[in-house]
Chain A
Amino acid sequence: MTHRIMSCSEALAEALLEEMERDDSVFIIGEDIRAHDGIFGQFRGLPKRFPARVIDTPISETCIVGAGLGAALTGMRPLVDMHFADFFTTAMDEIVNQTAKIRYMFGGQAKVPMVIWAPDGGGLRAGAHHSQSLESWFVHTPGLKVVVPSEPADVKGLMKSAIRDDDPVIFFQHKKLFAQTGHVPQEEYLIPIGKGEIKREGAHITLITYSRMTYLCLEAADLLAQEDIEAEVIDLRTLKPLDFDIISRSVKKTYNALVVHEACLTGGFGAEIAARIGEELFDYLDAPVARIGAKDVPVPFSPVMEDFVLPQVADIVESVRKILNRQ
């Protein structure tokens, strides 16, 4: 396979370009997406290429998401741009009570082929209203699929699958990863929703992670390798449906597990994974499953405090040492 180097942002735009060319029913709707190709430049070239299918809206998130749903119910395949994941709050009824439940409540009559795209995450000194990681809310809502890719190739392959999926997909992309580059195959490909990937193999401990924390875990694994600790890094890529098989296979090999996410710790997705490992893999564990997440406060503005609140590479390294010393 031939590859190119691309950023996550370019990978997203390419996925959408291909899907919009393939299928006339795909369209993009959201605030400020035409003038600058999206506020992060994430839709580069698309407004020009598809003038009628990249639609600017007023600041009306409730109706943007609701209109996406209505269009999805009646033959279109919208991608709704949430602008910032933080603004999910202003459209929660449309997502949680309407989008997630409509097929089930109506006995399977309807389908909702909609992607809700949300740039999330902190580290940009953007303060408490522009830095959150809210994936747990949606994982906790039956009827939604939740995708959280890290590298460009995964962004592209998963976005193409999300667009083709007949169910609603919440698609998070970390704001700090837009410029992150990586190899992307030249020829067309899909990455299935619900499949994780091992980004680094290792025998001593499994680091289970997703989104930006994948890169921090890989950095931590490099550092740990200098101490002869081989960490396996699993990027879940999708949280729901969860690829528990990949976790299971790895933990049966390493006997140790640490879950790492940027969202705050309490009630975070790490709790779900730790519980499942406890229930299903207890006999394989050499130590209790550990979790790393942000401290349980809103993300503060001042860089010194933000760095303290969000997980850092050093936190991962230290936690791994602690888990392994306990044996």
Chain B
Amino acid sequence: MKTSKKEKLSLLEKMLMVRAFEEKAGELFQQNLIPGFIHLSIGEEASSVGTCSVLRPDDYVASTHRGHGHLIAKGADPQLMFAELFGKATGYCKGKGGSMHIADFSLGILGANGVVGGGFPIIVGAGLSIKLRNTDQIGVVFFGDGAANRGTFHEAANMAAIWKLPVIFVCENNLYASTTPVAYSLAGGSVAARASAYGIPGHITDGNDILEVRKIVARAVKRAREGKGPSIVENRTYRYRGHFEGDPQKYRSKQEVESFRKKHDPIEKFKRILKKEGTLSDRRYEDMREKVALKIEEAVRSAQEAPLPDPEEALDDLFVNP
């Protein structure tokens, strides 16, 4: 698939946006300005941004507990996201959701999810609905390596395959599910390999190479749109932060994290490519970073100024017809 110079720059900017959002969120969390707990995807930006870059605005995405990147990549507004993280009335879910439960149905984002593996059946339903409504939309479910061991994964893959549903299972294999290494928990060693059991394509990508992610997911998108059925794409990547902010991380070494950051950082990798081919100058990069930083700062500022919900609003939104 061809990616124009302009597209490449916008991919880089999106990745920078995701990272800046999450670095800021981590900082605010540390200052006790974000209640509850948050899961950051820093280091995994090529997967979220690369995948969503080949989707249409009317395509569906089901996300996870580690969902900030998916949301921003699908077009969500950082300001409304920060407001939600703060529990403000102006947040995406009016403060009812928090980091783990952000959605923007107008952008086809069917929701982050606090339950691992909760998204699989939902995307099957979206795929079925697409088929019944006879549109050419598609659906993507993001999930972790750990989620691939839930029964919902297998039920969904099977059902999507027998009905040739227009969905893509995008695994973000970051080598750990909370404290549990993939090497211990994932029989067969690969999520993509499980595709063969369902007679559908399965691909492993260098999930830190955004152009590769884009290329492989685009192939799955084409297949889905043409009515040929689902695919599994396994983006091999790594998370730099703890499972959640505050995670003691006794299950891995600092050196391991540093080595991934040094050798495989998706943003640095892409930057190098763009510089080498002359698409990106230092000046342009600095401008881009400044623009992103400003946008994030502005988003945080207005989210902080936004009002809290009235406590009684807790009783709204349960039913359409109460």
B186 within 8 A of A: yes
A164 within 8 A of B: no
A219 within 8 A of B: no
A305 within 8 A of B: yes
Which of B87, B100, B312, B313 has the most chain A CB within a 10 Å cutoff? B87
- Choose among A31, A302, A308 the residue that contacts B87 (Cβ–Cβ < 8 A): A302
Q: Nearest chain B CB to A36's CB is how many angstroms away?
A: 6
Instruction: List, in ascending order, chain A residues with CB within 8 A of B315's CB.
Output: 295, 297
**Residue of A at shortest CB range from B248?**
A36
B87 near A304 with CB under 8 A, answer yes
A212 within 8 A of B: no
Instruction: List, in ascending order, chain B residues with CB within 8 A of A57's CB.
Output: 185
- Choose among A59, A87, A301 the residue that contacts B146 (Cβ–Cβ < 8 A): A59
**Residue of B at shortest CB range from A33?**
B179
A60 within 8 A of B: yes
B266 within 8 A of A: no
Q: How extensive is the interface on chain B, given as a class? A: 35 or more
Q: Mark A296-324, 1 if CB is under 8 A from B, else 0.
A: 11101111111111000000000000000
Q: Please measure, in the bound complex, the distance between the C-alpha atom of A128 and the C-alpha atom of B101, giving whole angstroms.
A: 8
Q: Nearest chain B CB to A178's CB is how many angstroms away?
A: 15
Whether A301 touches B35, Cβ cut-off 8 Å, given contacts A34-B179, A35-B251, is: yes
B114 near A301 with CB under 8 A, answer no
Q: Please measure, in the bound complex, the distance between the C-alpha atom of A39 and the C-alpha atom of B310, giving whole angstroms.
A: 33
B309 near A305 with CB under 8 A, answer yes
Whether A305 touches B185, Cβ cut-off 8 Å, given contacts A36-B250, A60-B149, is: no
Q: Mark A95-133, 1 if CB is under 8 A from B, else 0.
A: 000000000000000000000000000001111111000
Say which one of B17-25, B90-98, B197-205, B209-217 lies at the interface with A. Answer: B90-98
Instruction: List, in ascending order, chain B residues with CB within 8 A of A60's CB.
Output: 149-151
B311 within 8 A of A: yes
Q: Which 9 A-B pairs have the closest CB atoms?
A: A129-B114, A302-B87, A302-B95, A301-B98, A308-B311, A125-B35, A58-B149, A35-B179, A125-B36
List B residues at the A interface (Cβ < 8 Å): 35-37, 87-88, 93, 95-98, 100-101, 113-117, 146-147, 149-151, 177-180, 184-186, 248, 250-251, 308-315, 318
List A residues at the B interface (Cβ < 8 Å): 31-32, 34-36, 39, 56-63, 86-87, 89-90, 124-130, 295-298, 300-309
